[in-house]
Structure formats: structure tokens, C-alpha cells
Structure 1
Amino acid sequence: MDCDHLRCWRQKSDLSCILGCCFILRRFVLSRTENLFRGGQALPRLTRLLPLLGAVCLLPACSGEESAPKAAVNDVHPVQVYTVQRESLQRTINAVGTVRFRRETPLGFTTAGKIATVRFEEGDTVKRGALLAALDTTSVGADVSVATAERDRARSEFERVRSLYADGWITKARFESAEAALKAADARVRQAGFASGTAQLYAPSNGVVLARNVQPGQVIAAGTPALILGEGDSGFVFRVPIIDQDATKLRVGMAAEISIESLPSGPIEATISEIDGRANEATGAFTVQFSLPNNVKLRSGQIGTAAVKLPASETGALQIPASALFGVRTGEGLVYIVDVNSRVETRNVAIERLTDQFVIVSGGLQPGDRIVTSGLEKLRPGSKVRTIQATR
């Protein structure tokens, strides 16, 4: 009966068999111990029984340790499998930018002075030749009068000296000095006249006032931008900052699609017209400019997104579903590969780039390898799988 219980314990691991076996073992040990003490040789015989008791006690533990991994490895797990292959990928570079006039010109006065009037506000449309702003010409007019008076005096002096020089009463050096003084006076008159002429600021072309930086009564230095004019005749462009890794892949003439949030009519076809040769020192990005077609709804400052499709890779790249990756670390991760015996093994891969649903990888995989894309949490190296859906 004892052997039957032990056989049942090992073969079926049934709870009732285990409890029955434990009860029989307890009775057996107690009876043997009692007999040993009665015979006067308890310790030696009990000592010889200890290994047997230890082996019996360890039997369930050993049996459990052997059966658990065997079940995990031999269980067949249904999984989805993806066949790795090289894909001819066409990457798209997306960047956010703004609409601008091709020429946005800062306008200022060539002389210092006080602002007398500013005739336009930001957003106003102006025509070529329109007076935009003017300086107070009170001091400028006084300078012209002073310069003219000095020129008249220098001319009178020159005429007197020339007459004396012709009669031989003065030296040639004296004559040349008077002549030089007259020329200097003429130059000062022209300078004062130029300052008077530049006291008015005119629109160089049709356009829109983008910025007004001055107010009447304000004193400004020469060259300070008073207004910024977006020249309408120059057309519109779209400017975006792009990181250096992407900028090196772009070329002038590449096609792009510009999506303007405030224009629901759809993307606008554009081409790259200019790429800065130097990165912005603050951001490290290169400004890329796209030429836009004429559109009456375009406004400087509108925000949009440029999408540039790069040429497809000639060699192709290994592309796998993102769901196949696990144990991801910096720049690398693991995948399960299915072998010819439908068992899985781990393989390390290097992550090159991420897309919406796929990962571009290198190393560790070859075209034709089959990788698991679902049920990864139930698998261990050596697990047996059954393909329920295969994709490529």
C-alpha cells in the first residue's frame, strides 16, 4: 500500500495521494522510532534512517523543479510572425515654419533727427513712392542755409584772390588755398541738401508695412530701422529651421508640400529655393527657404508645416514592427527569432531610426529571418511557437 501511494505521488501529483502518503510516512516513522527506542539502539538506527527520510522529503521538491521548466519549454504558444526583408524606404522630413515675404526690407533715415510724422500703421498696404515718414526739417533747413552762406563767402573770396593772382600781387599758394576753400564750401552745401532730401522716407515698392518702430517726436540715430516693409512684388516664401542632420540631405530644387493651418484648401506645392550656408549660432539649425506660388490668402507670419520627401534608399534598410522589440536600451534592443524547429531564440539588434509603427534596425538580423511580433511576454529562449499569422 505504501508503494502504491508513492507511485501515485510521483506519477499524478494528485493532492489526495500526497496527503495520504504523508499520513502513511508519519505512521511509519513513529512506529519505527518507537521500536528503536524499545530495542535500546535508537540513535544508531535513527541515524541510518535520516538519509532515507531526507530523500523522501526532497522527492516532491525535486519532482516539481523538473516538471515546471519542461512544461514551459514544451508548451506551444500561438504567435504572430513577421518575415524580415529589406525595404526601399522613402523618408519624409517635417518641419514647422512661417510664411514670409521674400524681401522684408528695414527702412530708415540716413541722418539723425526727430520724427515729425509717420503716416502708416502695421498691416497697411502702401504703393511705390508713398511717403511713409518724415523728420523734423527745422534743423536740417538751418544747416542748408548756413552751408549756402559759407559757400557764397568762399566764392567771393576766391574771385578776389584770383584777380590779385592774375596781376601778380599774391603767390600761387594763396590762390590754391582760396580755390580749395570754395570747393569745400560747395561740398558742405551738397551734404546739407542731401540730408534735407533724405528727411523723408518713401516706399521703394508696393507692399505691406510689417513693423512700425518709431513714433512722432522720437529722436533716432542715422540708420535705425523706422519701418519694415514687406515688398509684395517679391512674392512669398516659407522659412523653416532644420537640424544639421536633415539639412545635409536637402538640395535646392527639391519639391515639398506646405500645409498652412489657416488655409483649409489643402497643401501648397513648393520648392526649396535657398539653404543657409551657416547654422544659427543660438540654435544650431539651418534656415531652409521654400518658394511659394502666388496666393492672395497668404500673409506674412502664417504658421505651417513643410514636408519634404527624400529620395528612396537604393540599398534599402531592415524594417521591423515596433511590437517585435523588447528589452530596449539606448540604441539597441532584443527580438525573438523563430528557427526551423519553431523554437525561439533572442537576437540583439541596433536601432537606427524610429517611424510611426516600424523600427529601422541594423545588425543581428538578415532578410528572411522570422521574428515574433505578439505574445512576447509568454516566451522564453527555447519556447516552442505556432504561427497564427505571418506578415512581411
Structure 2
Amino acid sequence: MSTTELFLIAMTIILGLPYLIWRVFRTDYWAPLVVVQILTGILLGPGVLGKVFPAYYATVFAPPVIAALNGIAWWAVMVFVWIAGIELDLREVWKQRRECGTTAALALGAPLLTGCLAAVGMLAWRAGWMGDAASTWQFVLGIGMACAVTALPILILLMEKMGILREPLGQRVLRYASLDDLAIWAVLAIILLDWQRVGHQIAFLAVFGVAAWLFRRLMARVPEMDRYFLGLVWLAACGYGADWCGLHFMVGAFLAGAVMEREWFDLDRLDGLRHNVLLVVMPVYFLSTGLRTNWQIGGTAVFVAAALLLVASVVGKLAGVGVAGKLLGWKRGDAWTVGWLLQTKALIMIIFVNVLLDRRIITSETFTALLLMAVASTMLTVPIVAPRLKRANPGDFS
């Protein structure tokens, strides 16, 4: 078969199989389609079906097909992160800076600490978790940050599903998550700082600052539809610049969106773009993520590490938000609900650890453990939060 035919077979599997599982088994309550797509990617990868049916894997996912899928995946995730950057509303955060700053700092700091402790425990337990290009501090900080991440785009989807996105609770949670989202990329830039290329990185940031100022002036003067085209050109250029200097194209994608104003776009149209990206091209990214899973250390060890990281992530997040609730005088039960919402991982954490894997900060076994942790944390959110919301009065979370 030609590469085109194999590519289309792969796309049929990528788009069809997760949807079939999602619909037939009605998983939407505990596993949204996004989660099913990620899990299906793991099953289709070399660690599961690739081992059981090596001929299938070698044929359908031949190197030319993988190369084509990777190109789509790179662009899909860049657009997705770019939209997440656009959706940051730091002016609203500034208006309520005491509450937002306190909550975001504790919601990020506590799981960062517990995640770092889990990383130290993994290193003491056995070898094979840290990548060959990493210093110990990079590995520990990277794992800690992976445990502290809140997945803002998936959080939006889950809150929309539960009917609270535009409610006071949903808007509060979005403000907290926005600050943490900003911190994620700042920490990633620190982890990836390359002293041999620091001159390139300083040059990129200097040029980016000037270019962003000029770009903002241009965007304020053009019609909305032109802003989408110009924004995508800006996205590609920023991704290239960040990758050239060693910061990774994902950092560039986030920066490209973060300097843009949400008010420049119709919110319904922007939501539609995000949904379409998730529908049309992000499943390819999920599959490419699954293809990178590895169980060479041993399945048991990877599952134990995933469980450890899940506990560190959830306990840290709930503890941090609980302390914030005490300090800020929240109503009883608020911290529990907000904490479970903010511990949602999924896409942003997966993107984050993909970068760590690309830069050889972590090994593929660690990547697999973190991927399992991200999926589990996301699957827990709706079953735990939805019953609490049903029992609550309309004004309980105002």
C-alpha cells in the first residue's frame, strides 16, 4: 500500500475507534471523549497493541506515516496552546489580586512541593526515570510542576459540561487557573534554559518584546477575521523563534497567544475554533502521544510511579486550596470543590511532559507514568464535583 493509503487507514483508526468506545460504552460522565482519545492512543502505541500485533504496528504506523502524523500533531497542539494563551484574562485577575494571588500561589506551590518529593522518591527507588540530558534539579522541578499543573482548556470543557463555566464558581476557578497556567510556562522556560545558548534566548526575548508591541498595534487596527490569519502567522513565527533559541516551540506558542487580547475576538467564535481544533486535529496529537509510551522498566513499576504521582498531585492540590480557603474565609466545602476542579490535568500536563521528553529531561517510562496520572486525575473530576454541585444551593459558590 502507498503512504497515502496507510495514512488514511491510520486516520480512520485515530478518529473512529475512540468515538466508537465513547458512544458504545457511554463514558462521557467519567471519561470525556478527550480522555478516551488519549487512552486509545496508549492502546494503539508500541507498548500495548504494538507488542501484541507487531506486524500491524509496523505496517500502519510506518515511519513515513508517523512523520506525516507528527507534522499535524505539532501544528494542532501549537494552535491549542495559542488559544489557551489568548484566553488568559490577567486584567480580571488583577482586580481581585489578593484572592487570586493567594489561591493560585497555594494551589500551585503545595502540589509542586509534594510532586518534587515524589520525584526524589522515584530517584531513590530505582534508576531509569531521569533523562540523559537532565540535571537532578531539572528532573525534580519538572516532575513537581507536572503535579502542580491545572489544564485550563480541559477545565473549561469540563465546567461547560457541568453548566458552571459562566457561573460565579466557574469564573473564580478560571481566574485561579489562569495564573497557574502562566506560571507553568515560566517554569518550563527556566527548566529549558540552556547556558550554551543563553545569548540566543536573550536575543529571542528582546526581539519578541519589540515584535509583540508592533504586532499588538497592528491587531488593534484590523478587522476581526484578519486577526485570525495574522495571529496564525504570528504563532508560526514565535514557535520558530522559541525553538531556534532552545526554549521549545510550545513556549513560543503560549507567548504568541498570551500577548493577544481576548477582547479582539468574538468569544463564541473563539470557543468554536477551540472545539474544532479538538475535533479535527487534536486526536492526531493524542495518538502521537500514545505512540511515545514505554514500559521497559516494567509495567508494575510504571503503574506504581503513576499512583505515587497521582497521590502527590491530588493531595498537594487539595491541601494548598484548603489552606487558601482558610486564609480567605471561604464557605465550608468551597475549597473541596475548587481543589478538585483545579487538579484536572489532561492536555496541558501532557503537552508539558511531551516537552520534557523531547528535551530528554525525563525518560519514556516516566512520561508513561505521568500520562497515566494525567488521565486518572481528569477522570476523577466530574464524578467527584458533579454530585457536590447538585446538592449545592445556587448561591453557595458566589
Which has the greater radius of gyration? 1
Whose strand proportion is higher, 1 or 2? 1
More contact order relative to length (CA 8 Å, sep ≥ 6): 2
Whose helix proportion is higher, 1 or 2? 2
TM-score by length of 1: 0.15
TM-score by length of 2: 0.15
